[in-house]
Amino acid sequence: MLVMFVKATPDNNTYSDRIFSSIGTTVPHTPPLIVRMRTDSVNPGKLGFDGHYCYNAGSCSTSWLETFVIKDFIGMANLNGNVMERIVALCKRRGFVFQSSEIYGGINGFWDYGPLGVELKRNLKDAWWLDMVRNPPLGPDGREFQMVGLDCSIIMHPQVWKCSGHYDLFSDMMVDCQKCKSRFRHDQLYVWEVRSGLEDDPQSKLIGYLATMGNDDDALADVQARARKLSKKISGGRLLDQWQAESIIAYRTRCNNNTDLVRCPSCDEQGSFTTPREFNLMLESHAGPIKDEDNRVFLRPETAQGIFVNFKNVIDTCRVKLPFGIAQMGKSFRNEITPRNFTFRSREFEQMEIEFFCHPSESNRWYEFWRDVRFNWYTSLGLKSAKLRLREHDKDELSHYSCGTSDIEYAFPFLADGDFGELEGVAHRGDFDLRSHMEGKLVNKDGKLVPDLGPDGKPKWKGSGKDLTYFDDERKERFTPHVVEPSAGADRATLAVICEAYTVDESRPSPELMRFHPRLAPIKAAVFPLVAKDGMPEIAEPIYRDIRKRWPAQYDAKQSIGKRYARMDEAGTPFCFTIDGQTKEDGTVTVRDRDTGAQERIDKSRVSEYLAAKLNV
């Protein structure tokens, strides 16, 4: 079911008539209303009413209406579903991403990468490692600096997490529904105020508050459907002549002191929410044969701490000199209360993190350097700047230790228009981490980081006591280095690349294709004999084997050439080479470009040379 908002009033009847005549129906001229539309499974272009509509006091601008109805709504109808649903369907159909343990019903917050997905994600990680570690950019002064790598264990000494602050502070506020036992993050609940009558009606009365997870279009459609049922319920089964759902408001700001009127998103029970309370996000386990407190360990919630506790090891063994960076890629785990939005918020995910150590006097310059470098890296891989933004945190958003933080954010299609989701954070962490592992857990007191003391006046969580300072031979100075941390999510970056690459071109026989940057494409080339006879496979197979020595490639001799092209378009393969009758005559093959569909002929001996030039390798 799709929902379309139309503001039909006497002064814009002509406008509403024009819109609805373009999709083959009419609209009654009434006050503001919601019209529920459906798509015909046989003829997606033929739309009609489902026979239900109700008054609504929500307003929408003419420009927004034009954009949504003419461009987005009709486009969605023709392809039968919203953009994110189509992307998820393609990921499953073509082997990019599968639900973990799907044959047993799946497990929420965990995902498996299929044959194409694992290649795509690996290409992204390889690009990051090459560009940031093996061949890092020149520094802000135009000079080279050193980067080294680590691969630390997932399970570390529990004291690591106590000194870092994760044991005490790594938590989200949550609420539970006492009836259906559903659990929700406090900061992700939004509430609609539903009233009888229109906004300016003096007889308007409060019906109730409807909670939703998030504030996107799906939440909007959900609350409208629930509001219809609620309006019938309070009027003895008859839909109220007039009702309205007010603009959505964050649960924590609107209903903290009025939760008895809020209805649960899952079961619609009123007043069933518990008082918000803390929920630690670290996943626990036990190391050793006995499951007791002494053997309790945690799956790391981030890769960064492994770098900090190995700082002295790297200094002593690698002859690195400040400024320098330590990089790590690896799995992390967070016990998210409500994992959602495909792979965006998962309980198991992979990080790509750098901890860059520098002199305190130079840290702000390095922070700005890494912020810009990381943003430009995403644009170099095809993420459009219109969907990508760099947002500096306000002071009230900063962690207690942070000197500055910027988020690189992407406009994922599951978010509401104008909203962005975090892709990577670049943080100026000061000397917080190294000092924490020397002195113990630190807290901000009167603007200064000091050890968190217990009732006995001693550190609540004792540090290692090891010296993690650095002596600079040139400056003849010993100091605790400051840290700049670019922290990227490999899974979120892969999801952003998938969303950016997804394209609909209805002029093609198969309208969906993935326009991956050639550097990231999971399959670089495909080789097709036009028919599986007449000596064409014998020519095609050596070409395929030669390509496969250097790049991921695929050979396909089945079905029509059009269907083979369509399969490769959905896999994001940038180039297809076809061996046909002319190949036997003059030794040339057809090269088809994925993005344009244009074809040219080259000599079969130049296939690898052609690919190397196009892939810039």
In whole angstroms, what is the distance from residue 409 CA to residue 387 CA? 8
Judgement on whether residues 149 and 203 belong to the same structural domain of the protein: no
Q: What is the mean pLDDT of residues 259-269?
A: 82
Reduce the secondary structure of 449-511 to three states and give it as a string. Answer: EEECECCCCCECCECCCCCCCEEECCCCEEECCEEEEEEEEHHHHHHHHHHHHEEECCCCCCC
The domain boundary, picked from 221, 250, 279, lies at 279
Judgement on whether residues 325 and 444 belong to the same structural domain of the protein: yes
Judgement on whether residues 196 and 226 belong to the same structural domain of the protein: yes
The band of 396, judged by pLDDT with boundaries at 50, 70 and 90, is confident
**Does a structural domain hold residue 105?**
no
Judgement on whether residues 193 and 341 belong to the same structural domain of the protein: no
Q: What is the mean pLDDT of residues 211-215?
A: 77
Alpha helices, H only, 130-170 = 158-164, 166-169
Q: What is the pLDDT of residues 479-527, one digit of tens each?
A: 999 999 999 999 999 999 999 999 999 888 789 999 999 999 999 999 9
Range of lowest pLDDT (118-132, 288-302, 570-584): 288-302
* Ramachandran angles phi, psi of 190, nearest 5°: -125, 155
Number of domains in the chain: 4
pLDDT of residue 236: 52
Judgement on whether residues 180 and 261 belong to the same structural domain of the protein: yes
For the domain that residue 588 is a member of, what is the CATH number? 3.40.50.800
Residue 34 scores a pLDDT above 60: no
**Does a structural domain hold residue 314?**
yes
The domain boundary, picked from 496, 523, 553, lies at 496
Query: Which of these, 198, 200, 269, 212, lies nearest to 240 by C-alpha position?
Result: 198
Judgement on whether residues 417 and 306 belong to the same structural domain of the protein: yes
Judgement on whether residues 353 and 407 belong to the same structural domain of the protein: yes
84, 90 contact by CB (below 8 A): no
Judgement on whether residues 50 and 160 belong to the same structural domain of the protein: no
pLDDT of residue 258: 59
Judgement on whether residues 290 and 378 belong to the same structural domain of the protein: yes
Kindly tell me the sign of the dihedral angle through the C-alpha atoms of 44, 47, 48, 53: positive
Judgement on whether residues 414 and 521 belong to the same structural domain of the protein: no
Secondary structure of residue 607 in the 3-state scheme: helix
The domain boundary, picked from 61, 81, 101, lies at 81
For the domain that residue 131 is a member of, what is the CATH number? 3.30.930.10
pLDDT of residue 202: 62
**Does a structural domain hold residue 367?**
yes
**Does a structural domain hold residue 206?**
yes
Strand-pairing partners, residue 195, are 206, 244
Considering the chain, what percentage of its residues have pLDDT values greater than 90?
A: 56
Q: What is the pLDDT of residues 517-540, one digit of tens each?
A: 999 999 999 999 999 999 999 999
Judgement on whether residues 289 and 429 belong to the same structural domain of the protein: yes
Query: Which of these, 395, 323, 375, 337, lies nearest to 145 by C-alpha position?
Result: 323
**Does a structural domain hold residue 148?**
yes
**Higher-confidence residue: 53 or 421?**
421
- Global pTM? 0.75
Judgement on whether residues 466 and 606 belong to the same structural domain of the protein: no
The band of 235, judged by pLDDT with boundaries at 50, 70 and 90, is low
**Does a structural domain hold residue 308?**
yes
469 DSSP 8-state letter: -
Q: What is the pLDDT of residues 144-153, one digit of tens each?
A: 999 999 999 9
pLDDT of residue 176: 84
The band of 591, judged by pLDDT with boundaries at 50, 70 and 90, is very high
pLDDT of residue 358: 97
**Does a structural domain hold residue 502?**
no
pLDDT of residue 259: 65
Q: What is the pLDDT of residues 365-374, one digit of tens each?
A: 999 999 999 9
Reduce the secondary structure of 568-585 to three states and give it as a string. Answer: HHHHCCCEEEEECHHHHH
Domain that holds residue 227: 174-279
**Does a structural domain hold residue 137?**
yes
